[in-house]
Structure 1
Amino acid sequence: MERLGMWVTRHRLAVGLLWLAVTAVGSVLTPSLSGRLQSGSHVNGPAFTANTAIAAQYGGAAADPGVLILDTPAGQTVDTPRVKQDLSRIDAALAEAAPDLRVVSFAADGDAALVGTDRTSTIVLAYPPKPSDDIGPEQVDLLTAAARQAAPDLTVHGTGYHALEAGNTTGGGNSSVLSELLIGAAGALLVLAWVFGSFLALLPLLTAFISVLTMQVLIYGLTYLVPSSSPLNPSVQYIVALLGLGLSIDYSLLVVTRWREERSAGRSNDEAVLAAMKRAGHSVWFSGLVASLGLFALTVVPNSVVRGIGISGLFIPSTATLVALTLLPAILSKVGPRTDRPRRASRRTAASRFWTAWSIGVIKHRVLAAVVGLGLLGALAGIATTIDIAQPTTHAMASAGSYTDGLHALEADGFPSGTLTAVPVYVPHAADARAVVTSLDSLSSLRGAAVAAGPGWSASDGSALVVAIPRTEIGSSHSGTALADVRAAAGSVAPGALAGGDGAQRIDATNATYGSFPLLFGIVALVTFLLLARGMRSLFLPAKAVLLNMLSVAATYGILVLVFQQGIGMRALWGTGSYGTIDAFAPVLIFGFLFGVSMDYEVFILARVREGFERTGSTREGIVEGVSRTGRLVSSAAVILFFALASLSTANDVTVREIAAGLASGVVLDAIVVRMLLLPALVSLFGDRNWWLPDRARRILRLKPAAGPGAPAARREPAHTAHTAHAAHTVRDAG
């Protein structure tokens, strides 16, 4: 780290110009990144096979459809000649308004499954042109307006699963990454202004801005490298931008705080930069390595969305680390002292009186602190055992608005909510389509089925598409046997028939994701333990850190259950009720992100505990110095990351919202309960055992034996002397 710091300060102009060029490229490419990202997940399984066959002939017909509900005037039915004319005009108007969409309608095929109670209503199912598209609020609004204009005598409602998911916002969709990034940056600036009390608060924001743009450039390049069968999901841009903002500020905050502390101790500016690189720089590098591991390990999950986020997530801590260890020291060596004004703000570099008193209090009442901390985490982890991983039902997402009105009209006409997750069935031979419809009509788990007929439904391979309408929503926790029934019935009359759809794909994705979760868990835990054991020269501290991290993640799942599954605070925060379930992607992605990010705080604190232990030979004094010096830093970093993630939770996407809110609450929980309460309490409780490292483990970790009188494990020596020597060697090796 010292050599890197010396090289950077000598070549600071070149370093600055290089990052300026990268920033310029990022500014140009970032606006077009969203066009390179595609929604949808790709998981090998029966649904993926079916959806691939459907996409080849029928484009986006495997997506959840947009639904128009058409009610006839009083005293008339769908068989009334005038109504028939209206229905035909609606089909023509839809084809003119949205020529790329494919629709399934009663006017085109006459199937009874599309007709409501007493034949006074009917539905139109609309599908997007491409497999990567959805029928969202914009398309539903467009179709609804076209139908109303074509047949003003009919009552027309529009709805759809993705329209409800978007929060009933007319013309909805995800809010821009830029707006959420600005919200997160504004919250971070307030915290940084409080921490530094000078213009130095702008420096972490500047480096974070450059980091985020660099990450966007790397993701843009990655879109050309990943296979077209597994494109990167749009949620990648959100996660990289907001989590990148928080991590970049965290790493910069650590380096700048240490530089300022060294300056206050009387060092020259260049000496302070090198000292900050030696101590804080090592912590940043090590934290970035562990955080990258937690994210990259997501690639073991056989799901294109999770793997894409894992690969993309690798750039978040690595880029933040690179900027903090190159651009930041270059800036500090050039203009650092001039930005640290007013000078009275430098008094804040002293150890915090609050955190000093806090650490002494925790040590004094360490048993009580451990019981309270473990009890809180254990209670939340217990709540997490009730987690229900599935897509939310339409009723859970339907709070108020035009799309909710459409859902209510749909059900009032005798159609089940499962209509919004209709199951497309690929029939290899069109001659078998009617036999498949007849077979599906007899199933009690379905309302019926219809052949997709009319413009856009002729296939070059001689196949046909049948749409089955389940009584329950496919992919939800109440989906029942509808999907299995469709597959069995269709396959019995049409060999080679394939049932797919978004809901079926989500079921396959959930099974694949959590089938690989033990492997993900094991890899992350083992490699993190080995890295920490080598860095901390201890077996006990990394074991404690990994176990507490697991408990912290489980407790975060408990918060997810309380908020999104049970609905506590949902109405106040997002204006909607409980989802009743937890999205399938949220727990596994939260594990990957939170496990790595929370290790930052562990490394930040223990690095200072080691320094204090080296200086005094006392574990107690090391804890006091470590917490008093890092308490403000860790709490501020957690609040900054919380602001960044909380702003991301405003996105109109259930998955992104749950991940962001879960991570935001998990970061605060981990920083306060785990790192600032349990860490000092447990380190104090276990005393000398914290530094235990047998010779055999030392050899396996390829660490040199500690030199000096405290090295031989069998030698009896005063505790003070032995631990002082051990700590000194620990810090030399670590950094």
Structure 2
Amino acid sequence: MERLADWVTRHRLVVGLAWLVITVVGVLVAPSLSGRLQSGSHVSGPGYTANTAIAAHYGGAASDPGVLILNTPSGQTIDSPRVKQDLARIDSTLAQSAPDLRVVSYAADGDNALVGTNRTSTIVLAYPPKASDDVGTTQIDQLTAAARQAAPDLTVNGTSYHALEAGNTTGGGKSSVLSELITGALGALLVLAWVFGSFLALLPLIMALISVLTMQILIYGLTYVVPSSSPLNPAVQYIVALLGLGLSIDYSLLVVTRWREERTLGKSNQEAVAAAVKRAGHSVWFSGVVASLGLFALIVIPNSMVRGIGISGLFIPSTAVLVALTLLPAILSKIGPALDWPKRASRRHPASRFWTGWSKFVIRHRVASAVVGLGLLGTLAGTATTINIAQPSTQAMASAGTYTDGLRTLQADGFPSGTLTAVPVYVPHAADAPTVVDSLSTVSSLHGAAQATGPAWRAADGSALVIAIPQTEVGSSHGGTALADIRTVAGHGALAGGDGAQSIDETNATYGSFPLLFAVVAAVTFLLLARGMRSIVLPAKAVLLNMLSVAATYGVLVLVFQHGIGMQALWGTSSYGAIDQLAPALIFGFLFGVSMDYEVFILARIREEYDRTTSTREGIIEGVSRTGRLVTSAAIILFFALASLSTANDVTVREIAAGLASGVVLDAIVVRMLLLPALVSLFGDLNWWLPDRARRVLRLGPLPAATEPGPRQPAHEALTVGDAE
């Protein structure tokens, strides 16, 4: 770190120009990144096998359909000559206005499964052209408008699962990454202005924006490396932008804070830069390694979307570290003192009086503090045991709006809500399709089945597609036995697919590998922390507390999204009744790595002070007093970044962002500022125990016997730790 600081300050012009070029390239590349990302995920399972066959011959027919509900005028039925003409005209108009869509309708197929109660209504199922597409709000609006124009006498409503998922926002889609990035940056700027009270507040934000643009370049390049069978998901761009913003600011905040502290101690600017990189830089580098490995460990999950995010996540902390340890010291060495203006006298002392008092309070009441902290986390973790991992039901998403009205009209006409997750059934031989339809029409868990006919549904391999309409939504917690019944009854080598079927495959694949993810991350983190902290007890405590912190975050997720506490106030919708299948896995990967930043920031400072004073108590007080404001500020900044991401009209992104935001705050306040000092104080000398055998395994040199910390330290140290004052 000393050599790095020396090289950067001597070559700061070269460093600055290099990052300027990278930033310009990032600005040029970032707008093109979204076009290189593809939605969807790939896992092994019967649903994925069926969807692969369907996609090869019928494009996006494996997706959940858009549904048009057509009601006849009073006194007429779908068998009335005029209504028949209207239905045929709607099919013709849809073919002209949206030629890429594949449509299943009563006018084309004549299947009674598409006819409502008293034959006064019918439905049209519309499928997107590509397997990676879905029928969302924009498509439903276009289809509805075209149908109304073609048949003004009919009452037309439109809805789809994805339209309800988007929150009934007409014409809405996924929120802009740029708008959310700006929102997160503005929130971060307010916190930084409070922390520094000078123009230094701009420096971490500038470093973060450069980091995010650099990450966009790396992800863009990665899209050319990953196989086309496992493309990177659009969620990557959200996560890289917002999490990158928060982490970059965290790392820059640590370096700038330490630089300012060294300046306060009377060191020259160059000496302060060198000291900041040596001390804070080591913590930043170490945190970045731990966070990167926590994210990269997601590749053990056999799900292409999760693996893609894990690989991409490897670039988030590493890029933030690179900027914080090269560009930031170069700028501080040149204009740091000029940026530290105006400098309020109350900010001159690096040790916060509040956090000094807080650390003494926690040490004095360490047993009570530990009980309160563990009790709170334990209660939330207990709530997490009731987690229901599934797709949200339509009723849970439907609060009010255009697409909710469409769902209610659909059900009023006698069609089940499962229509929105109609199951496509691939039949290898077209001649068997009528038999498959007849067999499925007798299944009680289905409303009926219809064969997709017409030029758009003729496959070169001689296959056919049958659409089965389940009574309840496949993939949700109320999905029932519809999918299993289809696979049992259909026969003839038929394959049942659809979004719901693949969602079930994803859940099984993801959580079948979840114990392995836990084990890999815990083991690697423990070894890294044991080497960095020169202790066995501290890393064990850190890993266990992190596991408990993640479990508590799942509890918050359950309370909010599964039970609906605060959902209406925050997002204007009701409870989802379930947790998205990808949210817990991704939250674990991100939160476990990110929360280790705070652990390293605090423990590194405690260890530094302990080495200086040989007093655990003094190490806690100095460590918390000098990092308390830093950690809470960093957590608030990351909270702003993630909270802005939670406004996205995507259930998965929303749950991940909200879960991470709550987890970061919970971890920083309860775990790091309450439990960490309380437990370190309780463990006393045991914190620094490192047997010789473990020291050799970790490749650490032996300490002199006189200074070797451990349980056999002189008794006066134990008394000092136990002293309330």
How does the TM-score come out when normalised to structure 1? 0.97
Quote the residue 1:235 is aligned against. 235
Q: How many residues end up aligned between the 2 structures? A: 721
1:356 aligns with 2:356: yes
Structure 2 CA distance, aligned partners of 1:345 and 1:459?
77
**Any residues of structure 2 matched to 1:102-121 within 5 Å, and which?**
102-121=102-121
8 A contact 2:300–2:516 mirrored in 1: yes
Task: Provide Cα deviations, 1:360-413, integer angstroms capped at 9, x if missing partner.
Answer: 000000011000000000000011111100000011111111100000000000
Q: Cα distance 1:344–1:146, how it changes in 2: closer, same or farther (>3 A)?
A: same
Structure 1 CA distance, aligned partners of 2:584 and 2:373?
22
One-letter code aligned to 1:143: L
8 A contact 2:689–2:711 mirrored in 1: no
One-letter code aligned to 1:632: R
8 A contact 1:260–1:346 mirrored in 2: no
User: Shift of residue 616 of structure 1?
Assistant: 1.7
Structure 2 CA distance, aligned partners of 1:224 and 1:257?
39
User: Shift of residue 349 of structure 1?
Assistant: 4.0
User: Shift of residue 607 of structure 1?
Assistant: 1.1
**Any residues of structure 2 matched to 1:556-595 within 5 Å, and which?**
556-595=553-592
Structure 2 CA distance, aligned partners of 1:251 and 1:325?
9
1:251 aligns with 2:251: yes
Corresponding residue SS for 1:538: coil
1:596 aligns with 2:568: no
Structure 1 CA distance, aligned partners of 2:590 and 2:275?
30
**Any residues of structure 2 matched to 1:683-722 within 5 Å, and which?**
683-711=680-708
User: Shift of residue 719 of structure 1?
Assistant: 5.6
Structure 2 CA distance, aligned partners of 1:719 and 1:653?
58
Structure 2 CA distance, aligned partners of 1:646 and 1:538?
36
Quote the residue 2:477 is aligned against. 477
Corresponding residue SS for 2:60: coil
8 A contact 1:709–1:722 mirrored in 2: no
**Any residues of structure 2 matched to 1:101-500 within 5 Å, and which?**
101-344=101-344, 347-491=347-491, 494=492, 496-500=493-497
1:657 aligns with 2:654: yes
Which of 528, 541, 545 aligns to 1:548? It is 545
Quote the residue 1:10 is aligned against. 10
8 A contact 1:257–1:349 mirrored in 2: no
One-letter code aligned to 1:130: K
Q: What percent of counterpart residues are identical? A: 80
Structure 2 CA distance, aligned partners of 1:374 and 1:203?
37
User: Shift of residue 97 of structure 1?
Assistant: 0.9
Which of 523, 528, 532 aligns to 1:531? It is 528
Structure 2 CA distance, aligned partners of 1:295 and 1:372?
30
User: Shift of residue 716 of structure 1?
Assistant: 7.3
User: Shift of residue 454 of structure 1?
Assistant: 1.6
Q: Cα distance 1:573–1:466, how it changes in 2: closer, same or farther (>3 A)?
A: same
Structure 2 CA distance, aligned partners of 1:469 and 1:193?
57
Which of 664, 671, 674 aligns to 1:674? It is 671
Structure 2 CA distance, aligned partners of 1:713 and 1:358?
26
One-letter code aligned to 1:9: T
User: Shift of residue 191 of structure 1?
Assistant: 0.2
Structure 1 CA distance, aligned partners of 2:351 and 2:68?
65
Structure 1 CA distance, aligned partners of 2:648 and 2:350?
40
Q: Cα distance 1:52–1:345, how it changes in 2: closer, same or farther (>3 A)?
A: farther
Structure 2 CA distance, aligned partners of 1:712 and 1:187?
43
Structure 1 CA distance, aligned partners of 2:374 and 2:393?
34
Task: Provide Cα deviations, 1:562-597, integer angstroms capped at 9, x if missing partner.
Answer: 100000000000000000000000001000000000
Task: Provide Cα deviations, 1:142-192, integer angstroms capped at 9, x if missing partner.
Answer: 000000000000000000000000110111101100000000000000000
Corresponding residue SS for 1:201: helix
Structure 1 CA distance, aligned partners of 2:53 and 2:503?
17
8 A contact 1:102–1:455 mirrored in 2: no
User: Shift of residue 140 of structure 1?
Assistant: 0.3
Structure 1 CA distance, aligned partners of 2:291 and 2:716?
35
8 A contact 1:198–1:345 mirrored in 2: no
8 A contact 1:105–1:125 mirrored in 2: yes
List runs of 5+ in structure 1 lacking aligned partners: 725-735
Corresponding residue SS for 1:158: strand
Corresponding residue SS for 1:104: strand
Task: Provide Cα deviations, 1:469-491, integer angstroms capped at 9, x if missing partner.
Answer: 00010000111110011111112
8 A contact 1:251–1:320 mirrored in 2: yes
8 A contact 2:686–2:710 mirrored in 1: no
Quote the residue 1:66 is aligned against. 66
User: Shift of residue 708 of structure 1?
Assistant: 4.9
Which of 500, 512, 515 aligns to 1:515? It is 512
Task: Provide Cα deviations, 1:666-709, integer angstroms capped at 9, x if missing partner.
Answer: 00000000000000000001100000111111111111111252
Structure 1 CA distance, aligned partners of 2:230 and 2:124?
31
User: Shift of residue 614 of structure 1?
Assistant: 1.9
8 A contact 1:710–1:721 mirrored in 2: no
One-letter code aligned to 2:399: S
One-letter code aligned to 1:86: D
Corresponding residue SS for 1:103: strand
One-letter code aligned to 1:691: W
Structure 2 CA distance, aligned partners of 1:347 and 1:107?
75
How does the TM-score come out when normalised to structure 2? 0.98
Quote the residue 1:731 is aligned against. none
Task: Provide Cα deviations, 1:62-114, integer angstroms capped at 9, x if missing partner.
Answer: 00000000001111111111111000000001011101000000000100100
Structure 2 CA distance, aligned partners of 1:206 and 1:225?
29
Quote the residue 1:728 is aligned against. none
Structure 2 CA distance, aligned partners of 1:540 and 1:253?
28
Structure 1 CA distance, aligned partners of 2:323 and 2:349?
23
User: Shift of residue 344 of structure 1?
Assistant: 2.9
Structure 1 CA distance, aligned partners of 2:597 and 2:394?
39
Quote the residue 1:607 is aligned against. 604
8 A contact 1:197–1:345 mirrored in 2: no
Q: Cα distance 1:712–1:408, how it changes in 2: closer, same or farther (>3 A)?
A: closer
One-letter code aligned to 1:652: N
One-letter code aligned to 2:371: V
One-letter code aligned to 1:57: H
Quote the residue 1:29 is aligned against. 29
Structure 1 CA distance, aligned partners of 2:85 and 2:433?
27
Structure 2 CA distance, aligned partners of 1:722 and 1:620?
10
One-letter code aligned to 1:216: Q
8 A contact 2:427–2:464 mirrored in 1: yes
Task: Provide Cα deviations, 1:427-452, integer angstroms capped at 9, x if missing partner.
Answer: 11111110000000010010000011
**Any residues of structure 2 matched to 1:50-89 within 5 Å, and which?**
50-89=50-89
Structure 1 CA distance, aligned partners of 2:643 and 2:101?
36
8 A contact 2:686–2:711 mirrored in 1: no
Return structure 1 stretches of 4+ with deviation > 6 angstroms: 712-716, 721-724
Corresponding residue SS for 1:467: strand
Corresponding residue SS for 1:61: helix
